[in-house]
Amino acid sequence: MNEFPALDGLLTELEQAAAAADGARAERAFGALVGGLQAADDAQCHAVAGRLAALVPAYPPVWPRAMPALAAGFCVERGADPMDCAGPVLAGLREEIEAALECAARWPDGAGELPAPDRADIDGLIGTLGGDQRAVRLAVAWCGLREWFPPAFAVLGSAAVRRRYAAELLPALGELDALDRHGLRPLHCTAALLDEPLTVLHRPTGTGYEVRISGIGDNFQLHVLLAHVLIGGGHLPGTAPAPEVVRLATDPAPATGRSGVIARGAFELLAPDGRRIWNEGLPADVPVVDGRRLLVLDHPAYQRSWNADRYFPELPGSAELLRVLPAEEARARFATTTLGG
């Protein structure tokens, strides 16, 4: 016999505590609910996941709103539908990211570097930010952001969730990632994973291609797979990636350790306006033109090489040639760029 009461009753108690803004009652109810979730079977977790996520905006702003998000993420990891939880979880994450960015913007000149994002010196952080209620809110966001990572990873593992929510999350996520203080890079890369067609134009030959990409963690991997499909497939001149380089990018088996295998660049990756798309960046950096991401390939400005290991060891990437653009269509797509054909 299950020693915990039914999850429905435990969750109802927490919902009522949140509605009453009774922090002590909510803390007790959440502790009991965590025990109930750990003892529940998968089907029970699936049944309450959406209600748990709905508690994120129901919690008063001064409460630890990451807690119901973590519980919802736990249910998703047990097999609950990520889409049932994604909206509230990612909206909460975005609010915390925006508050952390405000914290950084409000940090006084001459105050030195922003402290490490932990709670060790949160009182000092609050004081430096001005000591008011907004300072408290910003400091809590700066120091507590990592608590949102597990539920965010849980829901962003779904391609459907990324298609629905990633575009509105990525700008703030990328801005905070650029500060390099919270270890956001894996979450940023996860949110930026694409599963969509990409129009690719090759400037030296004036040809165009439609390629579906999926599971590609960074532009190093994108570069390799485009060279594999287009050069290796006989559509473009050049040297195709070595078979071991392609295997490391695409193997369904999780990668283990560092391979030491070197990949070599075949192209310059360019945006339609001529800006360089860096290998260190993400496929989501490729701009959208007329409803479709548009990437231009050119002769490499210099020879590049890099370690061929993929960013996400457990996630194989893929690039599939859908069609070669007719010459007239390729010319029309080139006409939307500043680069010509």
Instruction: Tell me: pLDDT of 288 over 70.
Output: yes
pLDDT at residue 341 in the model: 57
Quick one: average pLDDT of 155-178?
92
pLDDT at residue 2 in the model: 45
pLDDT at residue 340 in the model: 67
Instruction: Give the Cα separation of 160 and 292 in Å (integer).
Output: 18
Q: How confident is the model at residue 4 (pLDDT cuts 50, 70, 90)?
A: very low
The pLDDT tens digits for 120-154 are 788 889 999 999 999 999 999 999 999 999 999 99
The answer to whether the CB of 153 falls within 8 A of the CB of 72 is: no
**Per the structure block, which two tokens stand in for 263?**
């990949």
Quick one: average pLDDT of 102-128?
87
The answer to whether the CB of 196 falls within 8 A of the CB of 186 is: no
Instruction: Tell me: pLDDT of 93 over 50.
Output: yes
Residue environment code for 72-108, b if the CB has 16+ CB neighbours within 10 A, otherwise e: bbbbbebebbbebbbbbbbbbbbbbbebbbbbeeebe
The pLDDT tens digits for 227-270 are 999 999 999 999 999 999 999 999 998 888 889 999 999 999 99
**Per the structure block, which two tokens stand in for 185?**
């890079």
Higher pLDDT, 340 or 269: 269
The answer to whether the CB of 208 falls within 8 A of the CB of 334 is: yes
Instruction: Tell me: pLDDT of 3 over 60.
Output: no
Closest-CA residue to 198 (of 296, 339, 73): 296
Instruction: Give the Cα separation of 183 and 175 in Å (integer).
Output: 13
Q: Where along the chain do its domains lie? A: 7-191, 195-334
**Rounded to the nearest 5°, which phi and psi values hold at 201?**
-110, 135
Amino acid at 127: G
User: In terms of DSSP H, where are the helices of the chain?
Assistant: 7-19, 23-39, 42-58, 66-77, 82-106, 122-128, 133-144, 149-156, 159-177, 185-191, 219-230, 243-250, 327-334
Residue 54's contacts (CB-CB under 8 Å, 6 or more residues apart) are 88
Q: How confident is the model at residue 5 (pLDDT cuts 50, 70, 90)?
A: low
Instruction: Give the Cα separation of 269 and 286 in Å (integer).
Output: 9
Question: Average model confidence (pLDDT) for the chain?
Answer: 93
pLDDT at residue 68 in the model: 96
Instruction: Give the Cα separation of 271 and 286 in Å (integer).
Output: 6
The pLDDT tens digits for 25-69 are 999 999 999 999 999 999 999 999 999 999 999 998 778 999 999
pLDDT at residue 32 in the model: 94
The pLDDT tens digits for 181-208 are 999 999 999 999 999 999 999 999 999 9
Closest-CA residue to 293 (of 197, 208, 217, 221): 197
**What three-state secondary structure class fits 335?**
coil
pLDDT at residue 26 in the model: 95
Quick one: average pLDDT of 61-90?
94
What are the CA-CA distances from residue 301 to residues 6, 223, 269, 276 (Å)? 64, 14, 10, 11
Instruction: Tell me: pLDDT of 300 over 90.
Output: yes
**Helix, strand counts (H, E) of the chain:** 13, 8
